[in-house]
């Protein structure tokens, strides 16, 4: 397979409709159309239930009809579990209390995956592209539950894989930005700058944006620079392209 650019907008749902619109417009302009995936949260922090918002469900279907891939992105996106050991480190340092699937049992993770999948697929009128855990964090229960739910694809920070077989389809870090503090903003901008100069040899590049990015003009500028740098050297494609490679 030739080199590929995979773009995604995280945390898509009624809570961040304005921000998602802004990001979708920016990416479509750079990539030449809606050549990106959306990661849909069924009920962000229990405050924005997709099930009760028919208008946003119709928007999801419209985007899907245009070719946007739709992933199930957890259920609440909020982590309420108590963690110890390595999981405690990840929960504290890799996300701001949003690693929902880091501490779930197999049964509970499977239930939320199945419920999220039904809701998203009913909204878009087709199969979901796959499942991606909030903050890209999976506990053992979530990894086991993935095998129970028949998702075609899953993704974490360093790879994309087929849950059914465990086959890794793409390797390499995903480029993303952190907006929750000035030091994190500065470090993510630095990483993005290095990446757009050093990672062109990588076969599959994944770049992810979040609604919070829209609140920081410097991040929006960095996002535009980074997408433009990679889009100039490789086509923007679909995650599903990895299955036919």
pLDDT digits (tens, 9 = 90+) for 61-118: 999 999 999 999 999 976 555 534 444 444 344 445 567 999 899 999 999 999 999 9
d(Cα 39, Cα 11) in Å, to the nearest integer? Answer: 6
Residue 14 near residue 4 (C-beta atoms within 8 A)? no
Which CATH number, 3.20.20.370, 2.60.120.10, 3.40.50.300, 3.50.50.60, labels domain 4-244? 3.20.20.370
| Lowest-confidence segment of 52-61, 85-94, 193-202 by average pLDDT | 85-94
Domain boundaries, the chain: 4-244
d(Cα 222, Cα 58) in Å, to the nearest integer? Answer: 31
DSSP assignment of 148-206, as one string?
A: HTT-S-EE-SSEEE-TTT--EEEESPEE----SSHHHHHHHHHHHHHHHHH-TT-SEEE
d(Cα 139, Cα 184) in Å, to the nearest integer? Answer: 25
d(Cα 157, Cα 173) in Å, to the nearest integer? Answer: 6
In angstroms, how far is the first alpha carbon of the chain from the final one?
6
Average pLDDT of 138-159?
96
Query: Shortest CA distance to 172 belongs to which of 133, 206, 134?
Result: 206
Tokens representing 155 are 């993704």
pLDDT for res 182:
95
Q: Where are any strands of DSSP class E within the chain?
A: 4-12, 37-40, 69-72, 130-131, 154-155, 159-161, 168-171, 174-175, 204-209
| Lowest-confidence segment of 84-98, 107-121, 146-160, 214-228 by average pLDDT | 84-98
pLDDT for res 188:
97
In 59-77, which positions are buried (b, 16+ CB within 10 angstroms) versus exposed (e)? Answer: bbbebbeeebbbbbbbbbb
Q: What is the 3-state secondary structure (H, E, C) of 77-91?
A: CCCCCCCCHHHHHHH
pLDDT for res 96:
53
d(Cα 227, Cα 232) in Å, to the nearest integer? Answer: 8
């Amino acid at each position: 397979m030739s080199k590929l650019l995979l773009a995604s907008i995280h945390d898509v749902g009624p809570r961040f409709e304005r921000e998602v619109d802004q990001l979708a417009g920016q990416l479509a302009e750079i990539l030449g159309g809606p050549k990106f995936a959306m990661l849909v949260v069924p009920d962000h922090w229990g405050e924005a239930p997709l099930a009760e918002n028919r208008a946003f469900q119709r928007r999801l279907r419209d985007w899907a009809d245009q070719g946007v891939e739709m992933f199930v992105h957890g259920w609440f996106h909020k982590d309420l579990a108590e963690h110890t050991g390595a999981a405690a480190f990840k929960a504290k340092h890799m996300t701001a209390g949003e690693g929902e699937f880091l501490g779930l049992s197999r049964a509970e993770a499977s239930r939320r995956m199945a419920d999220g999948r039904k809701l998203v697929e009913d909204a878009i009128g087709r199969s979901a592209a796959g499942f991606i855990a909030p903050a890209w964090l999976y506990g053992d229960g979530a990894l086991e539950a993935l095998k129970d739910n028949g998702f075609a694809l899953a993704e974490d920070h360093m790879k994309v894989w087929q849950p059914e077989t465990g086959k890794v389809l793409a390797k390499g870090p995903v480029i993303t930005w952190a907006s929750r503090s000035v030091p994190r903003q500065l470090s993510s901008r630095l990483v993005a700058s290095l990446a757009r100069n050093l990672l062109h040899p990588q076969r599959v590049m994944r770049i992810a944006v979040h609604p919070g990015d829209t609140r920081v003009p410097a991040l929006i500028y960095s996002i535009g620079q980074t997408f433009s740098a990679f889009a100039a050297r490789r086509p923007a494609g679909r995650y599903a392209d990895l299955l036919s490679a």
